[in-house]
């Protein structure tokens, strides 16, 4: 077997990328991490070394490619181990922000811009999410599933964008783009977040396993869709808050689109790393726990009074 001479441009860059992945792995479990969870994270780290194993018919071993597979292996293992804990709880406000970020990326993707029909389709789908943020017609189960799948599709679209590909490619030494240590760390954080959600979207594809019937697979997909609907919050915030969020987000993205104040190579990883943090801090709308527990608390008080 031949080993490719195409090594990563800097081992410190790889370490920073992995550090960002690990930091995001811990952050997504913040407030609910147990000793068992810490052990599972370490197990995912150990299991990710499987990415270094050469393929059966691989004759030219590329170290850069296998180091990337290590990150992918960790992301898949992490998604399997912590699905119930890290599946993001979203609402119409966070969906609004992600939709605007997704459209921002789409408008700067040559393939999409060069196909007007595709661009119009994406703008139309995005408009549905924007209107819903104000009108709140997402009370039905079908709409909740649709909007969560749209959320996952937006993330996958960002992951497939030229910015994600070029940035990750530069980290593993396939081009000459230079990145600051801070950017590399953020790219690592955003990589895990995007990879995990991409895996959850793949799980919705109704293709049965080798030892699984199609009907069993459909039942499994239906269960996954129910879980997605449970993680979608239909609580409506004040109209002015939604309008302010729309104006601020759209203005900032439009200003950067026209003025190029911050490189997209830096801006997009920052947004991907920051938005989950803002959502966990409940800066968009009411805390989900308070909303979800209110009926239970009321019932408990009623039972106590009886």
Please report, for the chain, the start and end positions of each structural domain, with discontinuous segments joined by +: 2-287
pLDDT of 86 higher than 80? yes
Burial class (CB in 10 A: 0-12, 13-18, 19+), 86: buried
pLDDT on residue 305: 45
pLDDT of 57 higher than 70? yes
Between the two ends of the chain, the Cα-to-Cα distance in Å is 76
Q: What share of the chain is helix, strand, coil (3-state, %, to 5)?
A: 70, 5, 25
Rounded distance between C-alpha atoms, residue 274 and residue 222, angstroms: 31
User: Mean pLDDT, to the nearest integer, of 267-296?
Assistant: 60
87-111 confidence digits (pLDDT tens)? 888 889 889 999 999 999 998 888 8
pLDDT classification of 183: cutoffs 50, 70, 90:
confident
pLDDT on residue 11: 78
Per-residue tokens: 135: 């009108």
| More confident site: 24 or 275 | 24
- The answer to whether 106 and 112 have CB atoms below 8 angstroms apart is yes
Taking residue 290's Cβ as centre, other Cβ atoms within 10 Å add up to 11
Rounded distance between C-alpha atoms, residue 264 and residue 163, angstroms: 7
Long-range contacts of 260-263 (CB under 8 A, 24+ apart): none
Average pLDDT, the chain: 82
pLDDT of 35 higher than 70? yes
Residue 21: name the closest of 172, 146, 191 by CA: 191
Burial pattern 169-205, b for ≥16 Cβ within 10 A else e, equals: ebbbbbeeeebeeebbbbbbbbbbbbbbbbbbbeeee
- The answer to whether 154 and 127 have CB atoms below 8 angstroms apart is no
- The answer to whether 89 and 31 have CB atoms below 8 angstroms apart is no
pLDDT of 46 higher than 60? yes
205 Cβ contact list (under 8 Å, min separation 6): 221
Per-residue tokens: 8: 């990563």
- The answer to whether 162 and 106 have CB atoms below 8 angstroms apart is no
pLDDT of 213 higher than 60? yes
Rounded distance between C-alpha atoms, residue 177 and residue 166, angstroms: 8
**In the block, which residue shows the tokens 């920052």?**
270
pLDDT of 251 higher than 90? yes
pLDDT on residue 269: 82
């Amino acid at each position: 077997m031949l080993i490719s001479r195409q090594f990563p441009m800097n081992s410190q860059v790889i370490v920073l990328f992995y550090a960002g992945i690990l930091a995001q792995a811990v952050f997504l479990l913040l407030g609910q991490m147990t000793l068992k969870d810490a052990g599972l994270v370490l197990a995912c780290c150990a299991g990710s070394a499987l990415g270094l194993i050469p393929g059966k018919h691989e004759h030219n071993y590329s170290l850069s490619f296998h180091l990337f597979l290590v990150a992918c292996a960790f992301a898949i293992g992490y998604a399997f181990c912590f699905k119930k804990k890290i599946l993001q709880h979203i609402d119409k406000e966070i969906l609004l922000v992600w939709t605007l970020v997704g459209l921002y990326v789409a408008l700067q993707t040559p393939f999409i811009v060069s196909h007007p029909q595709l661009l119009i389709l994406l703008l139309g789908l995005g408009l549905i999410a924007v209107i819903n943020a104000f009108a709140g017609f997402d009370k039905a189960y079908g709409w909740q599933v649709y909007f969560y799948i749209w959320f996952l599709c937006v993330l996958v679209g960002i992951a497939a964008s030229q910015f994600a590909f070029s940035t990750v490619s530069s980290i593993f030494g396939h081009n000459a783009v230079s990145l600051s240590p801070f950017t590399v760390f953020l790219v690592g954080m955003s990589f895990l977040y995007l990879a995990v959600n991409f895996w959850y979207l793949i799980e919705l594809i109704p293709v049965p396993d080798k030892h699984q019937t199609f009907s069993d697979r459909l039942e499994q997909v239906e269960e996954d869709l129910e879980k997605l609907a449970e993680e979608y919050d239909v609580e409506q915030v004040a109209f002015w808050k939604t309008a302010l969020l729309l104006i601020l987000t759209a203005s900032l993205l439009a200003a950067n689109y026209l003025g190029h104040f911050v490189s997209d190579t830096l801006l997009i990883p920052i947004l991907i790393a920051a938005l989950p943090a803002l959502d966990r801090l409940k800066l968009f709308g009411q805390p989900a726990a308070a909303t979800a527990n209110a009926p239970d608390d009321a019932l408990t008080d009623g039972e106590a009074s009886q």
